[in-house]
């Protein structure tokens, strides 16, 4: 499966983009020190839903994500630091490495990907519901939900 927008990227860069979904899952779900199975299950479900519910180019991307999402997630959970601060920093550094990759993409695709990551982070953060559905994003998650390590990308207006 080939995504036209990735034509200028290396295989490793494409792999980083695919792996970012698992990293965002652990970053947000683990922000409070307790990775709730509801959050990881919901993240997997959202990734699957996006294989048919997002615009076509992103459907292809999420099909790539889905091929080994669970394996990537399990690897992050098993091999990344157990200490919350150390794990969050490692994931943050890896997600920051997306910035030069996203700069290679067409603005429309990069902006869509960035927006999609933010949406994904929010879905993971709200997966465990909170009290009566209110305040479902914890203070720990709030620190990370806007993915501050990734440069904000806004879709440019066509002239």
Q: Is the pTM of this model over 0.95?
A: no
Asked if residue 3 is part of any domain, the answer here is: no
- Give me the domain span that covers residue 77: 15-144
Question: Which pLDDT score, from 0 to 100, does residue 133 have?
Answer: 52
Nearest-angstrom CA–CA distance, 72 and 56? 24
- In this prediction, residue 2 carries a pLDDT of 58
**What is the structure's pLDDT at 54?**
85
Residue 74 lies in a domain: yes
47 inside domain: yes
3 state DSSP class of 54:
coil
Cα distance from N-terminal residue to C-terminal residue, the chain? 32
- The per-residue pLDDT for 139 is 73
| Residue 1: per-residue pLDDT | 47
Query: Distance (Å, rounded) from C-alpha 139 to C-alpha 141?
Result: 5
In a domain, 93, yes or no: yes
Q: Is 158 inside any structural domain?
A: no
pLDDT along the chain (159 residues), means of 10: 81 96 95 87 90 86 92 95 95 97 93 93 79 60 91 80
Q: Does any domain span residue 76?
A: yes
The helix/strand/coil state of 131 is: strand
Q: How many domains does the chain have?
A: 1
Q: Confirm whether 123 is domain-assigned.
A: yes
């Amino acid at each position: 499966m080939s995504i036209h927008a990735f034509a200028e990227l290396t295989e490793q860069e494409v792999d980083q983009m695919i792996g970012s979904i698992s990293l965002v899952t652990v970053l947000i779900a683990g922000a409070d020190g307790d990775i709730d199975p509801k959050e990881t299950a919901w993240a997997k479900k959202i990734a699957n839903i996006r294989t048919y519910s997002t615009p076509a180019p992103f459907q292809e991307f999420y099909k790539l994500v889905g091929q080994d999402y669970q394996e990537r997630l399990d690897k992050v959970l098993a091999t990344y630091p157990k200490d919350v601060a150390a794990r969050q920093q490692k994931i943050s550094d890896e997600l920051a490495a997306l910035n030069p990759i996203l700069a290679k993409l067409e603005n429309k695709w990069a902006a869509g990907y960035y927006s999609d990551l933010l949406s994904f982070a929010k879905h993971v953060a709200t997966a465990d519901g909170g009290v009566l559905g209110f305040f479902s994003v914890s203070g720990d998650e709030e620190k990370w939900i806007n993915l501050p390590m990734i440069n904000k990308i806004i879709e440019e207006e066509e002239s």
